[in-house]
A and B are shown apart, each in its own frame.
Chain A
Amino acid sequence: MAMNLKLSTVTRRAFLKLSALTGGSLAISGCTPGALDVESESTDVNASEPTIAVEEGVEVIPTSGSNNCGGRCVIKAHVKDDVIIRLSTDEGSEDEGSTTLARACVRGRSYRKTFFHPDRLKYPMKRVGKRGEGKFERITWEEAIETIASETKRVKEQYGPASRYVHYATGVSAAIRGNTLANRLLALDGGYLGYYNTYSTAQTSNATPYTYGTGSTGNTPDDYVNSKLIILWGHNPAETIFGTSMYPLRKAKEAGVKIIAVDPRYSDTAIGMADEWIPVLPGTDNAMMDAMAYVMITEDLHDQEFLDKYAIGFDAEHMPEGIDGKESYKSYILGEKDGIEKTPEWAEKITKVPAKTIKKLAREYATTKPAALIQGWGPQRSAYGEQIVRGATILATMTGNVGISGGCASGAGYASRISIPGVPVPKNPFEGSIPVFLWTDAIVRGSEMTAKDGVRGVDKLPSNIKLIFNLAGNALINQHSDCNKTAEILADESLVEFIVVSDIFMTPSAKFADILLPGDTVFERNNITKPWGYGDFALYANKVVEPPFECKFEYEWLKEVAAKLGIRDEFTDGNETNEDWTRWVVEETRKKHFDFPTFEEFKKSGMHRFKFDEPLIAFKKQIEDPENNPFHTPSGKIEIFSKRLWDMNAPEEIPAIPKYISSWEGPEDPLKEKYPLQCIGHHTKRRCHSTHDNNPWGEEVEQQTVWMNPIDADVRGIKDGVLVKAFNDRGTVEIPAKVTNKVMPGVTSISQGAWWTPNKRGVDTRGCINTLTTHKPSPLAKGNPQHTNLIQVEKA
């Protein structure tokens, strides 16, 4: 290391004179304790190297990431004298069972960089400025716990238990997590306002069951290799890390399976895996699906026998009782009611996919058996995402690809065969819940919210939200929609009266805390993790080092809050530590998975791979033996036409059959005059949602930019790399443009998860996509339409 040392401007002469004048009289302030302990007065000062034994051994401890990544990896911490000096990962070889290796990616490998960042939150703080201003003062843990307990009590007494809300948070996605623990606490303390849905899957989780009666519609990825054709529709596992499904996808490709990617963006999955990329305008997927159905029907390529046997609502002959045949899917496709034939030419105008491409895809999908149309979760996070989900399930049914190996029922595609419980939450004494995306509505107008706002369990909410626990989550601002509007709502201290945030950094969400607590990282607690449903292993995340400074896992202080509320024993239920809970989790898991290791074995090895003889095929029983295994729908069949949706009597936005609905802020919205570009938010490998955004190395992996096509850039005089502002009525981000053919004309994309960083003009200089997104929910699921945005881009 070469360093330039500046010459000293303090001379020894000056110091010596000072010493002569004052030295004898100077006494150090011995009453102020120092930070160091002198343990031994017996150090041999005469030895040239005084020696006191120092531990030199290096121990390797297996642990694992617990951010909300779809995959999970083995992280081995090399520990010397209680300091992690380096990391390694899964060193196994291929062919170790049905799952892939759990090797860490760039994020996992830079865990030291991220989690031992000098900006870690270190001490409990209380807000001293206006809420959201980011001004805090250090307090003791005692004061923090006392404040939280007394506010929890006060708000319950003043507004009732249902005014207390624990927000969606996935920073710790593991068996023991702060938000469930807080729900456990509040459930024991009289109740809280619950939520359903997630920010990932609201539309598909709600819409898929209208077709199949369940969201568990996926074959496990080890079945990919049995397909002849795989269509990845808005599915990008290479960047979203969808479980560990990239490995089986690669196996399928190696086996010669043809792979087609449908996506407005040439994703890394499309680049690495696809034989063909079909760009489609965001939100117009259903027009393309309708046209594919049109081709199949008019060319008689659909599986009529399968439809007749297993489905209702496809044609006039198979409608639910009392429903006119004109309401059938086929009738809609052929334009028998609205006079519009859903031809490929009709779809081309809407989707920008050439009619001949649509025809070719329809023919290929209908005639290649078996074929898997696998939907990602991106397209459904849109204004009418429910239709996209249902549309694909109908195509899968029309082609008879449901319930068979190599096929795919499409829809949500959940396919978990592993059950690892988390810390249990007792029944919430307050039975009402809201769709998670409407929590900001519940702050402003909660007491007006009813079933039409998605309120479940009660007729209407008794109160607005007055207290929020936001533990290890960034959806308080960053990952929720419309950051500017959300910030305005949170900043109003007359609305939410108390916000507790626990996190490891000063995130955009943490800025809105009244009490801000320093959380811990994966290295500092015991836990158990597994990938999302698509990876057949579980990992023991060992505690490796003590949490630094005054950092604590949420459980530690929640126990103390429970004590002040007089419910400590009920809260812990005899589990004093995280390790007590992980022991409980292992015991519960062993009740279902008989070959699961003992606690001691699991903790030591750090990993358990589940072995399965064959892939799980969704609806296999229903297809092989329909008499004894009806679908879990009201009719017992696959419901192309849903009577339940029909009865909602909102056919424009919630049709009984899937339809293309011309979307607000879609390509046909007149607002395009003002904001001519669509904007979506892709996942980037450099972050896990918003985690790791503050790791500067990530910027070298992928810079935060707005992607735009050269055609759109040229007319605006925008060159690659120049600073641009992307804006609409909701906000403005200022980041460099990435001018690339990897996104289709008319569409821009900003990777999601960058930390919202408004400057003095309110312009987000980091490029959080949610500066541009809206609070307006999708009609059925009340889900977040994060990819439905119209914007303009100009040179900054």
Chain B
Amino acid sequence: MKKGIQIETDCNQCGQRIVSCPTDALSHNDFNFVNKDNKIYVINKGGESVINNATEINVKDILKTRLWFYDLLGKSFYLEPEISRLKKVCELKIFEQFINNEDFKNEGIGILRDFFDNISKISNEEFNSLRKEYTRLFIGPGHLPAPPWGSVYLSKERIIFDENTLEVRKFYKKWGVNTKNSNKEPDDHIGFELEFISILIDKSLSELDKNNINGFKNILTAQIDFLKSHILIWIDVFSDKLSENTEYSLFKGLALFLPEYLKMDIGLLEDLLENLENLQ
């Protein structure tokens, strides 16, 4: 277990009390992955179809979807809202499709769906006030209610630039990644961390293209490792602070959705990894 994290929780399937590391707690709902015609597919463990009229999903589609989410989430936290970017999300109706799903439980998805649904109707004034809210939340100049840097939650002194920042920087460097504004902006900004995952997803896609299952596996492992040791350990506190301190649906929705999405994603990665042995 990384950094001695121990989670006590009830399994969402069987109701049993589980004491384990975070992602173990979430691994009670398994999918199987199969290799068919040199493409990796996922099927439901019980054999029933994952979606109504298909039993198979291309893993690349899963990775691309993940990539899209990490890109959206990362940029939402480190870039000021930009109308054209938001409109693109709106056109894809992603959250719409999420919410139609019978498994949907997350309040954030509904808030985000409503937000993106209405983006084409947003007035200049409303959009300006959204930009101001971004500035208030993540730029200043006043007190930041939910600082977006990991070390603020993890360091003894609750500061920016700390050992935690260096640990994150080290992780990036191992994968040949640097922050563009090195030493100006702390590496452990939530937006940067999410972008880093998207870079790893991109790398994993290339390995898949090369049919390099070993490399693919290493990159999946790195994603799990990074998510667990650098993001999951503070994301709940950050998200709670954020949702408590904003009434703007974009940020409230992101705050409610982000931690849940990440926890789901770890489970997905672990399922995928477990099944890789069978695929070679």
Contacts and interface: CB of A to CB of B under 8 A. Distances in A.
Contacts, number: 287
Contacts of B71: 28-29
A7 B184 CA distance: 35
A38 B218 contact: no
A546 B182 CA distance: 10
Interface stretch (A79-87, A310-318, A762-770): A79-87
A715 interface: no
Contact of B75 (A3, A34, A46, A548): A34
B103 interface: yes
Interface of A is mostly: loop
A43 B172 CA distance: 11
Contact of B176 (A3, A39, A83, A110): A39
Interface in B124-163: 132, 135, 139-144, 147, 149, 152, 157-163
Contact of B97 (A8, A11, A18, A47): A18
B135 A138 contact: yes
B278 interface: no
A10 B26 CA distance: 11
A113 B157 contact: yes
Nearest to A136: B141
A119 B196 CA distance: 25
A545 B51 CA distance: 54
B92 interface: yes
Interface in A59-86: 80-85
A134 B203 CA distance: 45
A28 B198 contact: yes
B180 interface: yes
B29 A7 contact: no
B143 A506 contact: yes
Contacts of A19: 57, 61-62, 64-66
Interface string A1-32: 11111111111111111111111101111001
Given A35-B181, A37-B179, A52 B58 contact: no
B14 interface: no
Given A8-B267, A34-B195, A118-B152, A22 B92 contact: yes
Contact of B140 (A1, A11, A122): A122
Interface stretch (B115-123, B245-253, B257-265): B257-265
B261 to A, nearest CB: 5
A549 B160 CA distance: 11
Contacts of B103: 11, 13-14, 17
Contacts of B157: 110, 112-113, 116
A49 interface: yes
Interface residues of B, number: 118
Interface in B167-220: 169-170, 172-186, 189, 191-192, 195-196, 198-199, 203, 207, 212, 214-216, 218-219
Interface residues of A, number: 79
Given A23-B58, A36-B179, A134 B5 contact: no
Given A28-B67, A81-B166, A549 B184 contact: yes
B24 to A, nearest CB: 11
Nearest to B30: A12
B114 interface: no
A21 B97 contact: yes
A16 B50 contact: yes
Nearest to B233: A3
A505 to B, nearest CB: 8
Contacts of B106: 9-10
A3 B261 CA distance: 18
Interface in A131-145: 134, 136-138
A46 to B, nearest CB: 5
Given A19-B57, A510-B141, A7 B263 contact: yes
B132 to A, nearest CB: 7
10 contacts: A5-B9, A11-B103, A12-B271, A18-B97, A20-B54, A35-B185, A36-B177, A52-B175, A117-B159, A119-B144
Given A15-B268, A138-B139, 13 more contacts: A5-B232, A8-B259, A8-B264, A9-B105, A16-B31, A17-B50, A51-B174, A117-B159, A118-B149, A119-B143, A545-B161, A547-B184, A550-B184
Interface of A: 1-24, 26-29, 32, 34-43, 45-52, 54, 80-85, 110, 112-113, 116-123, 125, 134, 136-138, 506, 510, 516, 545-550
